[in-house]
Amino acid sequence: MTPEFEGNVVQSLPYLRSFALYLARDRCLADDLVQEAVMRALAHPYHFRPGTNFKAWITTILRNAYFNLLRDRGRTHQLEGLGACQVPTVSGGQEETAELRDFERAFRRLPETQREALLLVGAGGYSYEEAAEEACCAVGTMKSRVSRARGQLQQWLDRAPAAAPAAPPAIH
């Protein structure tokens, strides 16, 4: 294991923790996922090909650890709520807090592939090409997932009054 490899691991820790929090929505579980990803990376440094994207490689390890955990939990018992999002919070009366909760609720309703696409492209800062490689799909599929997810979130968050019919799209 080279000092450069170890430096890459250390440098990726803040990003990994952020990504794990987005996936798991639970600080303890996110910490466990980061630890698992780092342990796997350090145990198998020879699987990383120098000259390729280290961040994508270690993120894949973390993502796979998360999906393995979900699969294992599904086999043993009904998957319970995983996150701080379900913990009751005290409202401070601030509109931003309510909007954030609405967003989190809507985000959790998205299909998992669309959530992952938004996390990679939006929160993770990946290009469509990098995100597609990370999710093992075509670039067009990744763009489509992001577009559909954004459109669905916008529709859910706008919540136009039920009595008002939607305006037809403008044709230019």
Q: What is the pLDDT of residues 29-78, one digit of tens each?
A: 888 889 999 899 888 888 888 888 889 999 999 998 888 888 777 655 54
Q: Is-contact 122 66, C-beta < 8 A? A: no
Among candidates 36, 47, 46, 41, which has minimal Cα distance to 8?
41
Q: Residue 101: which domain range?
A: 95-160
- Residue 74, pLDDT score: 63
- Residue 164, pLDDT score: 40
- pLDDT (tens digit per residue) in 107-133: 888 899 998 888 888 877 888 998 898
CB atoms within 10 A of CB 45: 13
CATH number at residue 99: 1.10.10.10
Rounded CA separation 109/140 (Å) = 23
Q: Please give the structure tokens belonging to residue 75.
A: 């086999």
Weakest mean pLDDT among 23-32, 34-43, 80-89: 80-89
39 inside domain: yes
167 inside domain: no
Do 71 and 102 lie in one domain? The reply is no
Q: What is the pTM of this model?
A: 0.47
Q: Please give the structure tokens belonging to residue 61.
A: 């390890």
DSSP 8-state code for residue 128: H
Q: How confident is the model over 88-96, as a mean pLDDT?
A: 58
64 inside domain: yes
Residue that the structure tokens 């859910």 belong to: 156
Residue that the structure tokens 């967003």 belong to: 103
**Residue 138 reports pLDDT greater than 90:** yes
Q: For Cα atoms 42, 123, 152, give the angle at the middle one, nearest 5 degrees.
A: 130
